[in-house]
Chain A
Amino acid sequence: METLGTNLPYLLRGARVTVLLFAASLALGTVVGVGAGLLSAARHPVPRGIVAVYVFLTRGIPLLVHLFLVYYLLPVIGLDLEPYVGATIVLALYIGAFISEVTRGAIGSVSRGQLDAALSLGMTRGRAMRKIVLRQAVRYFLPPYIGNAVMLVKLTSVVSVINIWELTLAGREVVERTLAPFQIFAGVALIYFAICYGLSRLGRAMEQRTEFGH
């Protein structure tokens, strides 16, 4: 336990980077995902098709392969991105596909009759979507959204494989130095657990609150 104790500050610095990576990619991924989810509720087949292709390409290929692909493709097309920026964009686009499915599912959960009722009251389609459908969709959106956020925290660990320094890579460095893999990886796991479990609990609390609201 002593080895873990002396290396804890270093691991916590890694955890800070993990949380920053997570927050940045969640923010960007939410914008992309909700946007894509709204587009997939459009009547026109072209935006729906584009979103379907995006979701298919993202969800059918492992994150690690996406990371390698971008890692090797960027120099070829002459783009010089900061590694953290590149990783954040890949993570955001990856989680965005999942969030777009959550958004689509939430909109689909609101009964079709709600939209028809609003339209029959003379609302425009845009107004009916905003004021009636989306407002009710939020409560279906939040619980799976939090689930995806937890998944994103865990996914950030994958960027360590392309040598981006965060909690997992910090852990591997400490293991190489101290040769105490069991202790160190247990410590790293507990730090991830604290972050993810906190988020999960928050999600469950929200779920209960939205159930009471209706």
Chain B
Amino acid sequence: MGGYFFDFGFIYRNLPIFWSGLGVTLEVSVMAMAGAVVGGLVIAFGRMSRRVWLFAPATAYVEFLRNTPVLIQMFGLYFGLAVLGFRLSPITAGVLALAGQNAAYLAEIYRAGIESVSRRQLEAGLALGMRRWRAMRLVVVPIAASRLVAPIGNQLVVIIKDTSLVSSISVYELTMEGKRLAERSAATYEVFATIAVFYLVLTSVVSLVLRLYERRVQLIF
């Protein structure tokens, strides 16, 4: 073994590379999360609509995006659209793919949450003289939202982990920087162990913040 098992010095010397990768990972995560959270709302409206021309495309979107790998969706957006004349940058294609698939998941989470709120809550709002839209906004949505913190949080953690896949369309985020560093050094598994720790810290922090937030909103309702 030569007295060597984990080369901390090498990792320490290359920390700036990890930080730069982490920055891109955060950037992709935040953009994909924002896109998924908002996009999911739009699709959830379609899924709950009684109009077929809204319901049918929203359903097709959800079924197709949830039943195909996000990696293939990424390749389709990046390589596929380019031959059709739409050249996307790797980062745009990656963010669109991650936001697109997770919007489908979030739409179903929103819908399940709204349907879980008893109809009487809406009726009580209407009885107090609220209009339907106002009763939805002030009564139903807040109750649903307090129940949805945990499942939405899980989905956000999935997004963070899935950003590692944009490395395969050459976005220089954490995993890609790690791969490059591993390829030009002998300390290969140390690099990936370090990267694993970075992701673990990132996903744990997000989970923890959401759990604290969940406890707060549950006290209110």
Which residues of A approach B to under 8 Å, CB–CB?
A: 56-57, 59-66, 68-69, 72-73, 76, 150, 154-155, 157-158, 160-161, 168, 171-172, 175, 179-182, 185-186, 188-189, 192-193, 196-197, 200
**Is B82 among interface residues, defined by CB-CB distance under 8 A?**
yes
Across the interface, which residues of B come within 8 angstroms of A56, CB to CB?
200, 204
Which listed residue, B175, B182, B200, touches A57 by the CB 8 Å rule?
B200
Which listed residue, B66, B72, B195, touches A65 by the CB 8 Å rule?
B195
Contact across chains for A157 and B79 when beta carbons are under 8 A apart? no
CB contact list, B162-209 vs A, under 8 A: 162-165, 167-168, 175, 178-179, 182, 188-189, 191-193, 195-196, 199-200, 203-204
Which listed residue, B69, B75, B188, B191, touches A172 by the CB 8 Å rule?
B75
Once A57-B200, A69-B193 are accepted as A-B contacts, the answer to whether A154 and B83 lie under 8 Å apart by CB is no
Q: What's the Cα separation between A197 and B62 when bound, in Å?
A: 11
Dominant secondary structure of chain A at its interface with chain B: helix
Q: Besides A73-B192, A157-B69, 9 other CB < 8 A contacts?
A: A61-B199, A68-B175, A68-B178, A69-B192, A76-B189, A157-B72, A160-B71, A189-B73, A196-B66
Report the nearest A residue to B160, measured CB to CB. A62
Contact across chains for B196 and A171 when beta carbons are under 8 A apart? no
CB contact list, B49-87 vs A, under 8 A: 63-64, 66-73, 75-76, 79-84
Contact across chains for A62 and B69 when beta carbons are under 8 A apart? no
Once A72-B192, A160-B71 are accepted as A-B contacts, the answer to whether A65 and B199 lie under 8 Å apart by CB is yes
Interface size class of B (residues with CB under 8 A): 35 or more
Across the interface, which residues of A come within 8 angstroms of B162, CB to CB?
62
**Is B111 among interface residues, defined by CB-CB distance under 8 A?**
no
Which residues of B approach A to under 8 Å, CB–CB?
A: 63-64, 66-73, 75-76, 79-84, 157, 161-165, 167-168, 175, 178-179, 182, 188-189, 191-193, 195-196, 199-200, 203-204
Q: What's the Cα separation between A131 and B188 when bound, in Å?
A: 49
Contact across chains for A65 and B192 when beta carbons are under 8 A apart? yes
Contact across chains for A65 and B188 when beta carbons are under 8 A apart? no
Contact across chains for B68 and A154 when beta carbons are under 8 A apart? yes
Across the interface, which residues of A come within 8 angstroms of B64, CB to CB?
189, 193
Across the interface, which residues of A come within 8 angstroms of B163, CB to CB?
62
Contact across chains for A62 and B80 when beta carbons are under 8 A apart? no
Contact across chains for B67 and A193 when beta carbons are under 8 A apart? yes
Dominant secondary structure of chain B at its interface with chain A: helix
Contact across chains for A182 and B80 when beta carbons are under 8 A apart? yes
Once A76-B189, A182-B76 are accepted as A-B contacts, the answer to whether A60 and B68 lie under 8 Å apart by CB is no
Contact across chains for A72 and B189 when beta carbons are under 8 A apart? yes
Across the interface, which residues of A come within 8 angstroms of B80, CB to CB?
181-182, 185-186
Across the interface, which residues of A come within 8 angstroms of B79, CB to CB?
175, 181-182, 185
Contact across chains for B179 and A68 when beta carbons are under 8 A apart? yes
Instruction: Give me 22 A-to-B residue pairs in the complex whose CB atoms sit less than 8 angstroms apart, sorted by A's number.
Output: A60-B204, A61-B199, A62-B165, A64-B175, A65-B196, A68-B178, A68-B192, A72-B192, A154-B69, A157-B69, A158-B71, A158-B165, A160-B71, A161-B165, A168-B72, A172-B75, A181-B82, A182-B81, A189-B64, A189-B73, A192-B68, A196-B67
Q: What's the Cα separation between A171 and B200 when bound, in Å?
A: 32
